[in-house]
Amino acid sequence: MSETADRVKKIVVEHLGVEAEKVTEDASFIDDLGADSLDIVELVMAFEEEFGVEIPDDAAEKITTVKDAITYIDENQG
């Protein structure tokens, strides 16, 4: 597992209060991890802080799974 993946999963566990085992790469924030739309806004903010990337609203809307987040960060990290 990549370092990005580890850090993303840690943030998800902390913010959503879910068990680490449930945070698989295929997990959907809303369908599998119990998040609502505002939780995703908060998660995106946390990713931006942690990785120093900017995630614009239109990109954030496409981040629906853990893998989406990892991919976006890996591709856009400066």
Which of the residues are catalytic?
36
Q: Which is nearer to another protein, 7 or 15 (CB)?
A: 15
The secondary structure of residue 55, as a DSSP letter, is -
Asked if 39 is part of the footprint of another protein (rule: CB under 8 A), the reply reads yes
Contact call for residues 65 and 27 (beta carbons, < 8 A): yes
Q: Considering Cα of 62, then 55, then 34, then 11, what sign does the dihedral take?
A: positive
Asked if 50 is part of the footprint of another protein (rule: CB under 8 A), the reply reads no
Q: Per the structure block, which two tokens stand in for 9? A: 């999963």
Asked if 20 is part of the footprint of another protein (rule: CB under 8 A), the reply reads no
Q: Which residues bind another protein (CB under 8 A)?
A: 14-17, 34, 38-39, 41-42, 45, 49
